[in-house]
Structure 1
Amino acid sequence: MTPTAHRRQVPSPSASSSPSLDDRITGSLVGAAVGDALGGPVEGYTPDQILERHGGRVTGIVGPWNGDAWRVARPIAPYHKGDGHVTDDTLMTHALIRVYGKVRDHLDAYAVADHLVPELVGEPVWIPELEAEALPLQRIFLAEKWIVTRLLYGHVDPREAGNGNIVNCGAAMYMAPVGLVNAANPAAAYAEALDVAGAHQSSYGREAAGVFAAAVAAACVPGATPRSVVDAALDVARDGTGAAIEAVTETAERYTDFESALAPLRAAVAPFDTVGPDYRSPSLGARRPSRLHAIEELPVALGMLLVGEGDYRRTVLGAVNYGRDCDSIATMAGAIVGALRGEAAVPTDWAKQIAEASRLDVHAPAAVLTAVAHEVFAKDAARRRVHESAYAALTEADR
């Protein structure tokens, strides 16, 4: 790894200006939703295709790639991506928050079986891309439908249900709430996310979920910087995920302009990415378990965090214009910046337009998760005191 002394340092905010936990939770969830909606309409395309289609880089909310033909145009039909509509990344994030609202404690794979599956198959919500109220199951991707297939119909052990699914960013994309409930404790966020994600993913897809949650938790540490977030991610990341993050972020530190960083970041992550150069025509080895590979989305999100120096617009627009799975990249990048800087970092005009277009109260999920985070911390503190008391009794004779 590059020695810390040689890394670009971004000044830490002063203690007096550091956002509160409540503000960071709101900023992270709003920031994630905005990033998701910005990236949705250009998902799956290359930076060059984005440049040609939009006559320049995407600098804000844009319409569907195929205009009014979005209902029938392949390969996106029948989803209305664009015009400020959030995608399944946000739908899954909010569903997980509703699970936290019911359990009001740390989650595990059994919470996915007992609570998330019923959310997906039995609780209709407004689906912006379908312009209708429907069950989340009718929108989520096949890799997420796997959760329902395995747990509801297959009766698989929740801790093992992720085995056999394609290995992608599906579990990682909605793990920000785990990082926020474990704010300022990256190791705990990593462990909880791995447990939750075991019902959904395996291999480096599950690992990415843990590392992303750790990054969000690290962003909540008072005085955190983009570099400290990356370092926290590297502290927990294993195998190809750690190697990919290291390679991409070392490359990212040479740039402060996302335009010049687009090709270098793709080149840095390419050896670890199984999908291959053509995102819509994956290689034969794509999305298979491996200790040598990584999902593309998380390393690039962390790379753009460094390129953008923690500025929301620069970071998230870099993620959006990277193309490929850019709604998930921008979701992750937006969640981390929001946790670092608070809600004020997220452009108000974007947040307002996306909330209106998606018929989404972007603050309600944050209020629920904030209350849960405070309750869980109190429970953790009480559990810790019980442990300390027991340990003291156990060691009293040794003193």
Structure 2
Amino acid sequence: MATLLDKSVGALVGAAVGDALGGATETALPEQIRARYGGWVEGVAPPFHADWATARPMAPYHKGDGHITDDTLMTHALVRAYAAKRDHLDAYDVAELLVPDLIERVVRIPDLERDGLTFHRLAAAERWLVTRLHHAHADPREAGVGNIVNCGAAMYMAPVGVVNAGDPAGAYAEAVEIAGAHQQSYGREAAAVFAAAVAAAMTPGAGVDDVVDAAVELARDGTRAAIVAVVEQARGYDDWRTAIGPLRAAVAPYDTVGEDYRRPGLGARRPSRLHSIEELPVALGMLVVARGEFRAAVLGSVNYGRDADSTATMAAAVAGALGGAAAVPAEWSDVVAEASRTDLVTPARELAEVAVEVFARDRDRFARRAERFTGLHR
């Protein structure tokens, strides 16, 4: 049986691999991906734009060639916040632990090909954390209000699922609290559901159906509707190549970005109870198509295109948690670690240690509550 450590390594190393592979195809559409690479992407690939340093809209990021992106940089920053507190996190911890890490700690930024502050790599939706919490001194629980609604918070919530291993509802509640400092509306909801999916996948003996059931049970509004629609469509396929089009069609009514991914309309990424980010439902759909197998789930997400790095990050984190470290192909993880000059395993080891400590704290807290509650019946 897989151990907590094994599943933590599978989830976090897997997420980094999905991020790196998906970075090469980000913003492209499936037909563009096939034209650029002469067929489907089957592993670590060079950048979509050979002139990546000047090409729009991705410049100046060297995505591809095994380079992790901001998805993994944020994931590792959240792990460090857990390692500092060694307990559950909340919105105030985002302000007190995560934000200082983003603006003070020097890390390797692979797709900028230099060392620097994580903040220098972040997109505007993630820089919002620094603007609102460091500069504006907003209430951390409400700081996400006003930000664009996208997958920015969801993409790095896998650690919440690991810390709450086996407790999807607990992961959901904690991620709602954490993500409130970053996101609003269905962006915050997706972060919570993704954390719950990872927590479900961390359960011994869990399978894809357990993950989907946890996600559907906890999700609300458009996020739930989108997951149900995509998963229902996915159950009719066993090959990600033929599933790409149908999954896009299933999620399209809930996606505000539209078909022209690089030119979203004025209604895109606005708060709504009827809509969903695209990445999480598609990631879960690819997991269903792949029957939980890591390689197929990741390649389906990578070749789906659009926000491929975040979609593949989510699919890979869940598949890695389900299958453990051995599920992640070494020929991918070794290349990604070397190309990114980043230790992918140590954060997962540290997080597993924190998860054990947090569980012990939770057990003590519940024992105290049980004693008090029992006293009410005497």
Normalising by the smaller structure, the TM-score range is: over 0.9
Counterpart of 2:222 in structure 1 is 240
Hey, what does 1:230 align to over in structure 2? 212
In structure 2, what is the equivalent of residue 163 of structure 1?
A: 145
Name the counterpart of 2:28: 45
State the distance in 2 between where 1:70 and 1:390 align.
61
Deviations 1:206-258 (A, max 9, x none): 00000000000000112211111001100100000000000000000000000
How many Å apart are 1:391 and its aligned residue?
A: 0.7
Q: CA deviation at 1:65?
A: 1.5
Question: Shift of the alpha carbon at 1:22?
Answer: 0.9
Instruction: Tell me the alpha carbon deviations over residues 96-135 of structure 1, each in whole angstroms, 9 at most, x when there is no partner.
Output: 0000000100000000000111011111101001111111
Mapped to 1, the partners of 2:55 and 2:368 lie a distance apart of 60
Give distance in 1, aligned partners of 2:53 and 2:304: 25
| Structure 2 partner of 1:286 | 268
Paired position in structure 1 for 2:354? 372
Instruction: Name the counterpart of 2:345.
Output: 363
1:190 to 150, 156, 172: 172
Which of 33, 41, 58 in structure 2 is aligned with 1:58? 41
How big is the alpha-carbon RMSD for the aligned residues of Structure 1 and Structure 2? Answer: 0.6
Deviations along 1:234-289, one digit per CA (max 9) or x if unpaired, are 01000000000000000000000001100000000000000000110002110000
Q: Structure 1 counterpart of 2:218, which letter?
A: V
Residue identity opposite 1:40 in structure 2? G
- Residues 285-331 of structure 1 show CA distances to partners (whole Å, capped at 9, x for unaligned) of 10000000000000000000000001111110000000000100000
Structure 1 residue aligned with 2:102, among 110, 120, 123? 120
Give SS of 2:108's match. strand
2-structure distance, mates of 1:66, 1:177: 32
Which residue is equivalent to 2:313? 331
CA distance in structure 2 between the aligned counterparts of 1:51 and 1:296, rounded to whole angstroms: 21
For 2:249, the aligned partner's letter is A
- Alpha-carbon distance in structure 1 between the residues aligned to 2:353 and 2:63: 32
CA distance in 1, matches of 2:105, 2:357: 25
Shift of 1:92: 0.2
The residue matched to 1:295 in structure 2 has which SS? coil
1:72 CA drift (Å): 1.2
Show the counterpart of 1:9: none
Q: Partner amino acid for 1:352?
A: D
Residue range with higher mean Cα deviation, 215-224 or 181-190: 215-224
2:11 counterpart (28, 33, 38): 28
Aligned partners of 2:289 and 2:220: how far apart in 1?
Answer: 23
For 1:349, give the aligned amino acid.
E
Question: Could you tell me which amino acid in structure 2 is paired with residue 297 of structure 1?
Answer: E
Give the count of matched residue pairs. Answer: 378
Give the structure 2 partner of residue 260 of structure 1.
Answer: 242
Q: Who is 1:311 aligned against?
A: 293
3-state SS, counterpart of residue 395 of structure 1: coil
Gaps of 5+ in 1: 1-17
Summarize the alignment of residues 81-230 of structure 1 with structure 2, pairs less than 5 Å apart: 81-230=63-212
* Runs of 4 or more above 6 Å deviation: none
SS state at 1:360 partner: coil
Percent sequence identity is 63
The one-character-per-residue Cα deviations of 1:44-77 (angstroms, maximum 9, x if unpaired) are 010000010000000000111122x211111111
Structure 2 residue 283 is the aligned partner of structure 1 residue 301: yes
SS in 2 for 1:116: helix
Mapped partners of 1:66, 1:299: distance in 2:
27
Q: Secondary structure at the match of 1:129?
A: helix
Secondary structure of 2:24's aligned partner: helix
Aligned AA for 2:246? P
Deviation at 1:158, TM superposition (A): 0.1
TM-score normalised by structure 2 residue count: 0.99
**Aligned equivalents of 1:66, 1:152: Cα separation in 2:** 35
C-alpha separation in 1, matches of 2:250 and 2:349: 38
Equivalent-residue separation in structure 1 for 2:377 and 2:220 (angstroms):
35
Tell me the residue number matched to 1:14. none
Following the alignment from structure 1 to structure 2, what is the Cα–Cα distance between the partners of residues 162 and 276? Answer: 23
Paired position in structure 2 for 1:8: none
> Deviation of residue 21 (structure 1)?
1.0
For residue 98 of structure 1, give the secondary structure of its aligned residue in structure 2: helix
Give the aligned residue type for 2:69: T
Q: Tell me, in whole angstroms, the C-alpha distance in 2 between the residues paired with 1:212 and 1:247.
A: 17
List per-residue Cα deviations over 1:77-102 (Å, max 9, x = no partner): 11110110000000000000000000
Q: TM-score, normalised by structure 1?
A: 0.94
Aligned-partner residue type, residue 275 of structure 1 = V
SS of the residue aligned with 2:256?
coil
Cα distance, 1:26 vs structure 2: 0.5
